Amino acid sequence: MTAEMYYMLRQQGRPLQTRFNLSSLEKHLGKIMAEAKSIAPIIPPGDRKKIFIFASLHYWIEHAALMGIALATQGHEVTLGFTPYADWRMELNQFDVRQQNVYTRHVLQQAEPLLKSVSFLRKAAQYRQLPDSVLEMIHQVSVYDTQYTIRDEKIDEESELFRLREKRNTQVARVAACYFDENRPDVVIVPNGTIQEMGVVYQYARHLGIPAMTYEFSDKRGHMWLAQDDEVMRQNTTNLWETRKDIPLTQSQLKTVTNLFSARQNATLWENFSRLWQGNASEGGEAIREKLGLDQRPVVLLATNVLGDSLTLGRNLFSKTMAQWVARTVQYFVGRPDVQFIVRIHPGELITEGLAMADIIRDVIPVLPEHIHMIEPGEKINTYDIVEIATLGLVFTTTVGLEMAMCGKPVIVAGDTHYRGRGFTFDPDSWVNYYKTLGRILQRPQDQWLTEEQVELAWRYAYSFFFEYPLPYPWHLVGVWGDYKDMSLADIFSEKNYQLYQPTFEYLAGRKIDWSRRITDLSEG
């Protein structure tokens, strides 16, 4: 108890001088709890659930605590499990970790009895035996963690990083095994659900057959992505698309998605979307032809993803890695001087560390021939200008493929992305089929443009993905306390606003997502 006693004597409830800081949550808890106590439970006793939320890292803990209080205010019995780590990438001083553990408990105790909390920093579980299937799951999550951290799909399982991730993930799985034996919930809610300790708790809940919800946030304010018994970063839109695919867009919906697409092309912010998709305004296709020195030969655009991004982990279909697919595709086009081949490296590489896609390409072809062009992340070229002049698009999981299909361009999808198999892309499942598809399209590219029906499907899907798939939720992870200022607990449960957020809270608590209701609600405004 040395660390715990030291914390109580020296820190006296204050955060340590580390990145792990819950001061914003603590600052708002008084008001939050006062509001919660003034709201009568909404859920009838027979419908109330025993809900377990798990989070690691201070920002996810703050966000999960706010979500837990909202669910508990409705009448559910909610427990928040946590690990008090400030960093997933490096070993931390255990003395400090234990102090952070006491600090977290101190802050979260202020939410009791409405929100119970439990630390997953429990030594008693260290000898718990785990079945082989769970150990395999832990290994896979640890691989994803390492790929995500170093931004490289090739990892060294003897590295300190991998061993750290496997150690922490194993510890959390053992605690989850003990905790769920004694306190089996009706529903488990976990952010992300693919990487780090949160991915392990999600996978272990599925191993036990407990309904599990995973959630994440895109750039659309006031909304969340939510998956039920699935990893949210896989963006599984199958059930939504089965409901939506045969319903034509209204003129209003068509205008909405047209305006969004225009903003993406022209590097401007649009409505409640908070991210620029391009850093440079459009110059037009012909200006790009001149800038890149292109002639009238067909243009093939390969748009990359950021290596190690959560949206690419585990998405390989016929290639071992995304990098291998890029490298082998570049090699293929070295022998196709009849085609101008452009690799557009994702601008997101400017803000990440790790292996650069340009280095992968240079390792394969140190000197690029005249008909192959590589657009590096920082180059002042708008991707949509290349789309305008492209004959064919090649993508792994990036939404550039969806947008090219919206323009009627043929697109070959090499990764397991959410819009694959929706009726407007080419979807090879092997290297043989991939090369056959490439050859067939390039032989007579003018014959491979999408039909009007396929283009309409692409536009319908784009509207569905960008506007129907995200569910209304008041507090974004980024800027959560600013959002709370605009939409407090009392505001949410007011007669004016609750109808908007009620379905999402019900889905978090385990009710199956009703996509037909979602489509109808948006159609009716």
The full DSSP string for 134-146 is HHHHHHHHHHHHH
Give every CB contact of residue 250 below 8 A, 6+ residues apart in sequence: 523
Residue 280: per-residue pLDDT: 52
Between strands 50-56 and 77-83, the pairing is: parallel
Question: Measured between alpha carbons, how far is 301 from 282 in angstroms, rounded to an integer?
Answer: 17
Domain count, the chain: 2
Same domain, 369 and 511: no
In a domain, 48, yes or no: no
Buried b (16+ CB within 10 A) or exposed e, 308-329: bbbbbbebbbebebbbebbbeb
- What local confidence, expressed as pLDDT, does residue 302 receive? 96
Q: Are 172 and 200 in contact (CB under 8 A)?
A: yes
Q: Where would I find the H helices in 226-314? A: 238-244, 251-266, 285-292
Q: DSSP states of 105-124 as a string? A: HHHHGGGTTTEEEEES--GG
Whether residues 288 and 309 fall in one domain: yes
The label of the residue with tokens 């490296």 reads 345
SS3 212: strand
Report if residue 363 sits inside a domain: yes
pLDDT at 356: 84
Closest by CA to 295, choosing from 229, 339, 348, is 339
Q: What pTM does this model have?
A: 0.91
459 and 480 assigned to the same domain: no
The pair of three-digit structure tokens given for residue 62, joined into one six-digit string: 């703050």
* Edge-to-edge strands, sheet with 392-395: 372-375, 340-344, 299-303, 392-395, 411-413
- 233 and 184 fall within a common domain: yes
* 141 plus 185 within the same structural domain: yes
* Coil vs helix vs strand at 187: strand
* Sequence-ordered alpha helix ranges (H) in 300-409: 322-334, 357-364, 383-389, 400-406
Write down the pLDDT at residue 275.
40
- Residues 6 or more apart in contact with residue 403 via CB below 8 angstroms: 261, 264, 384, 387, 462
In a domain, 47, yes or no: no
Residue 222: which CATH number? 3.40.50
Question: Do 232 and 322 fall into the same domain?
Answer: no
Closest CA to 305 of 430, 399, 213: 399
CB-CB contact of 111 with 188 (8 Å): no
* Same-domain status, 65 and 172: yes
- CA 226, 232, 235, 239 dihedral sign is negative
pLDDT for the residue 430: 97
User: What pLDDT does 286 receive?
Assistant: 85
For the domain that residue 390 is a member of, what is the CATH number?
A: 3.40.50.2000
Contact by Cβ (8 Å): 107, 100: no
Q: Most distant CA pair in the chain: distance in Å?
A: 77
Distance CA 250, CA 139 (A): 47
Distance of CA 73 to the CA centre of its chain: 28
Residue numbers of the domain that contains 483? 2-40+54-239+470-523
Residue 46 lies in a domain: no
Domain presence at residue 49: no
Which one, of 25, 27, 18, lies nearest residue 95 by Cα? Answer: 18
Residues 144 and 291 in one domain: no
| Rg from Cα positions in the chain | 25
User: Does the residue 45 lie in any domain?
Assistant: no
**298 and 153 assigned to the same domain:** no
Q: Hey, what's the torsion of the CAs at 115, 82, 215, 413, to 10 degrees?
A: -170
Asked if residue 412 and residue 517 are part of one domain, the reply reads no
Is 296 within 8 Å of 287 (Cβ atoms)?
Answer: no
Q: Rounded to 5 degrees, what are φ and ψ at 322?
A: -65, -40
Domain closes at, from 433, 450, 468 = 468
Environment class of residue 499 by beta-carbon count within 10 Å: exposed (0-12), middle (13-18) or buried (19+)?
exposed
N residues, the chain: 525
Of 453, 468, 483, the domain-final residue: 468
Per-residue pLDDT at 92: 81
Residue type at 60?
A: W
Assess whether 165 and 215 both reside in one domain.
Answer: yes
Q: Tell me, yes or no, whether 225 and 365 share the same domain.
A: no
Q: Give the CA distances from residue 459 to residues 234, 241, 245, 406, 465, in Å, rounded to whole numbers and listed in that order.
A: 21, 12, 10, 6, 10
Which residue stretches of the chain have pLDDT < 70? 1-17, 123, 266-283, 350-351, 525
- Which tokens is 436 given? 């056959």
Strand partners, 394: 302, 412
Is residue 432 in a domain? Answer: yes
Q: Is residue 336 part of a domain?
A: yes
Last residue of a domain, one of 468, 487, 504: 468
Residue 333, helix vs strand vs coil: helix
Q: Which tokens belong to 503?
A: 């379905």
The span from the first CA to the last CA of the chain, in angstroms, equals 57
SS3 of residue 375 by DSSP: strand
pLDDT at res. 84 = 93
